[in-house]
Amino acid sequence: MAQHPDLGYFDEGADLTDAGLYQSARRPFGQASLLPALTFRSKVFSALEDEKIWSRGWVAIGVLPDIPEAGDLLPFTVGNHGIHVQRNDDGGLTGRFNKAQHGGCRAVPLQCQTGSKTKCSFTSCGFSRDRDVIPAGDLADGAPAMHQYLGLVPERLLPVKIETFGPLIFANLDPGSDSLRHTLGDLPSRIGDPLGSANALCCKSWLDIRANWKLAGTDLFESHSPMSSTVPAQAMSFDGDRNGPYVLETLPLNNGRVSHARNFDLPALPGFSSDHEGQAVFCRAFPNLLLALLPSHVVSIIVQPLSMTETRLRISLLAGEAHGRDAAAEARRLHDSWNAAIQCNAARIESLQDFVGTWGTASRPESEGATLPVEVYPERYEFQQFLIGRILEKHMHYWNAPLYGRVSSAV
């Protein structure tokens, strides 16, 4: 009951929903500090993220080529909620909460309430780690996976809103939310055709990083592109609602200003040599999607928290079906290059986790009462403005909702 929304969210002597806690992190770029250190280590804060982030908006969970055949099922744990999306006979998609939300347990065991996803055979449980895509043949009557995810009457399971953008699959646990298109705003027009034509999955992999998802999700592209960590505050230009749930990553352009779309030469990307021509666009859709749009391929990275200090990256490399075998071989080479680059970058991200995760604790007495460093990356700054905005937003809860549908938010 300590994490019941009506009782509030408190940890380390702080009210995690108090605007004053984030005052220094909300200052203008170039003056704002990093997020409070406890947000990278607190189990209570992860429960607050579940309430304010994961269960309140559109979350990227996979790509359409993952489930090509009727009956194929893609599991994904959103916050603490085990859900899945299944391909229908007519080619459409159906999203549901998993049948075995607590596995085969009569009550949730204490070891599953530590804030860390467990390695358990009941992979449908919201406290366990996901398994990969389940082919339709493994969901036949009597199969263990069928009983864990679907049960005998899947139609009775609580539905989940599912929508797509190009080959990307999004889920939303809030039945009263806006449509994905409304939420994305002008993102589709800014990205254009490359995403829409990437309908074949060339390669995919999962990588686990020992860092909080807020660090792993914002640092990945910073070392693989010419983003400047010294962009002056006067060069920043944020368009639209900074606290909107989906905002393109702000990237420096040649004219010195920052926009929500930035182009740069491909030789800066992993796996490309100097003879490649063209441009690529990087963007981030909050909270958990990173995209690199290349001339012939799209790299999608879906960020999924496993604990306060561990994050899973679901990496997919997609291309148009017309590119043929040669392009597929090139895609595999690029995929391996991206994986190698991300693994190399993981050490820097994990070091940053160690730095902020121990700030203000007895293990680092010199930092107790000290001000956190200034946030120097514009991309990470914009993300933390989104996060703070969602944390401080007032919401109504399920038990306060009207009979015919939950109200997603109230001022």
Mark residue 12 as left, alpha or beta (left: phi above 0; alpha: psi -120 to 50; beta: remaining). left
Query: Do 251 and 358 lie in a common domain?
Result: yes
Q: Is residue 184 part of a domain?
A: no
Query: Do 127 and 225 lie in a common domain?
Result: no
> Which pLDDT score is estimated for 142?
84
Reference 221, options 341, 399, 117; nearest CA is: 341
Reference 303, options 284, 280, 331; nearest CA is: 284
Mark residue 118 as left, alpha or beta (left: phi above 0; alpha: psi -120 to 50; beta: remaining). beta
Contact 231, 378 (CB under 8 A): yes
Cα 315 versus chain centre, distance: 12
Query: Do 212 and 316 lie in a common domain?
Result: yes
Q: Is residue 275 part of a domain?
A: yes
Q: Is residue 411 part of a domain?
A: no
Q: In whole angstroms, give the CA distance from residue 59 to residue 166.
A: 15
Which residues lie across from 15 on neighbouring strands? 10
Whether 287 shows a pLDDT value over 80: the answer reads: yes
- Residues 331-363 have pLDDT tens digits of 778 788 878 877 877 888 899 899 999 999 988
* Helix (H) / strand (E) containing 251: strand 251-252
Whether 259 shows a pLDDT value over 60: the answer reads: no
**CATH code of the domain in which 142 resides:** 2.102.10
- Among 145, 173, 201, which residue terminates a domain? 173
Query: Do 133 and 198 lie in a common domain?
Result: no
Q: In whole angstroms, give the CA distance from residue 75 to residue 85.
A: 7
Query: Do 241 and 269 lie in a common domain?
Result: yes
Count structural domains, the chain. Answer: 2
Cα 275 to Cα 268, 278, 335, 368: the distances in Å are 12, 10, 19, 51
> Which pLDDT score is estimated for 58?
93
Contact 364, 354 (CB under 8 A): no
Whether 229 shows a pLDDT value over 70: the answer reads: no
Please state the pTM of the whole predicted model. Answer: 0.86
**CATH code of the domain in which 307 resides:** 3.90.380.10
Query: Do 358 and 383 lie in a common domain?
Result: yes
Cα 72 to Cα 87, 96, 145, 150, 296: the distances in Å are 6, 13, 12, 12, 27
Mark residue 31 as left, alpha or beta (left: phi above 0; alpha: psi -120 to 50; beta: remaining). alpha
Q: In whole angstroms, give the CA distance from residue 344 to residue 253.
A: 27
Mean pLDDT of the chain: 79
> Regarding predicted confidence, which is higher, 275 or 130?
130
Q: Is residue 185 part of a domain?
A: no
Torsion sign across C-alpha atoms 319, 321, 327, 331: positive
The arithmetic mean of pLDDT across residues 71-82, rounded, is 96
Domain span including residue 204? 5-56+193-400
Query: Do 51 and 146 lie in a common domain?
Result: no
Q: Is residue 178 part of a domain?
A: no
Where is average pLDDT lowest: 99-108, 317-326, 394-403? 394-403
> Regarding predicted confidence, which is higher, 274 or 30?
30
Q: Are strands 297-307 and 310-319 parallel, antiparallel or unpaired?
A: antiparallel
In three-state secondary structure terms, 170 is: strand
Question: Buried b vs exposed e over 303-340: b needs ≥16 C-beta within 10 Å?
Answer: bbbbbbbbbbbbbbbbbbeebeeebbebbeebbeebbe
Q: Is residue 395 part of a domain?
A: yes
Q: In whole angstroms, give the CA distance from residue 61 to residue 288.
A: 9
Which two three-digit tokens encode residue 65?
């080529």
Q: In whole angstroms, give the CA distance from residue 390 to residue 209.
A: 25
> Regarding predicted confidence, which is higher, 276 or 250?
276
- Residues 364-377 have pLDDT tens digits of 888 888 888 998 88
- Among 141, 173, 205, which residue terminates a domain? 173
pLDDT tier for residue 200 given thresholds of 50, 70 and 90: confident
Query: Do 276 and 386 lie in a common domain?
Result: yes
Q: Is residue 15 part of a domain?
A: yes
* Helix (H) / strand (E) containing 345: helix 324-357
The arithmetic mean of pLDDT across residues 199-209, rounded, is 91
> Which pLDDT score is estimated for 72?
97
Share of the chain above pLDDT 70, in %: 76
Query: Do 370 and 358 lie in a common domain?
Result: yes
In three-state secondary structure terms, 137 is: helix
Burial class (CB in 10 A: 0-12, 13-18, 19+), 142: exposed
Whether cis (ω within 30° of 0) applies to the bond prior to 287 is: yes
Whether 328 shows a pLDDT value over 90: the answer reads: no
Query: Do 243 and 215 lie in a common domain?
Result: yes
In three-state secondary structure terms, 161 is: strand
> Which pLDDT score is estimated for 75?
97
Query: Do 150 and 197 lie in a common domain?
Result: no
Contact 119, 128 (CB under 8 A): yes
Q: Is residue 367 part of a domain?
A: yes
Query: Do 49 and 87 lie in a common domain?
Result: no
Torsion sign across C-alpha atoms 329, 93, 305, 165: positive
Whether 152 shows a pLDDT value over 50: the answer reads: yes
**DSSP codes joined into one string, 178-240:** PPHHHHHTTHHHHH-HHHHT--EEEEEEEEEESS-HHHHHHHTTTTSS---TT--GGG----S
